[in-house]
Amino acid sequence: MQSLLAISRRPWPMGLPIPWLTMLLLLTLLGGCASPQLATDDRSAGLSIERLLVLDQAQDALGTPYRWGGASTNGLDCSGLVLVSYQAAGLQVPRTANAQYQSLPPIEAARPGDLLFFGRGSRASHVGIYAGNGQMIHAPGRGRRVTTTSLDLDYWQKRFLGAAAPAP
């Protein structure tokens, strides 16, 4: 019986000089690079009053102009929308998208009223509020207004980092 080390030094069948163990290591690392899947749970029955208040405030903000650092009816950025919506429900969250992402406990599947985080690597650069039915309410950026968007878009799927549920 050959040792594992001897087998790992064999070239690939096509003559490539990559050892088997190296290839297994590369496949393992690539599997770890897969981004999380954006999963949702649209059961609206039994939503807490806090979640309903968050969603109501976020819907009231639709059409508000984007303003970097904004957290009022004069203008909102993405984390300002979250801050204002959660304050309306009597809940405190950190001010920035990345602080929210880093400090709030992650969940597997977002329910209406939960937060969805987007970015690259381990840093969140955008946050939205899950509205249900595959839709998110968010403040998209300069020159735009608070709006809803479909989470089915590749843009969001590729940048999804995770979700959190600050509301009970």
Q: Give pLDDT tens digits for 64-123.
A: 999 999 999 999 999 999 999 999 999 999 999 999 999 999 999 999 999 999 999 999
What is the predicted pLDDT for the residue at 154? 96
Give me the catalytic one of 38, 58, 78, 127.
78
Q: At 45, is the pLDDT very low, low, confident or very high (cuts 50, 70, 90)?
A: low
Domain spanning 49-164: CATH superfamily: endopeptidase domain like (from Nostoc punctiforme) (3.90.1720.10)
For residues 115 and 11, the model is more confident at 115
What is the predicted pLDDT for the residue at 35? 59
Q: Is 33 a catalytic residue?
A: no
Other beta carbons within 10 Å of 2: 7
- Token pair in block for residue 79: 């984390």
Q: Is 138 a catalytic residue?
A: yes
Alpha-carbon gap, residue 67 to 96, rounded angstroms: 14
- Token pair in block for residue 43: 């059961």
Q: Is 10 a catalytic residue?
A: no
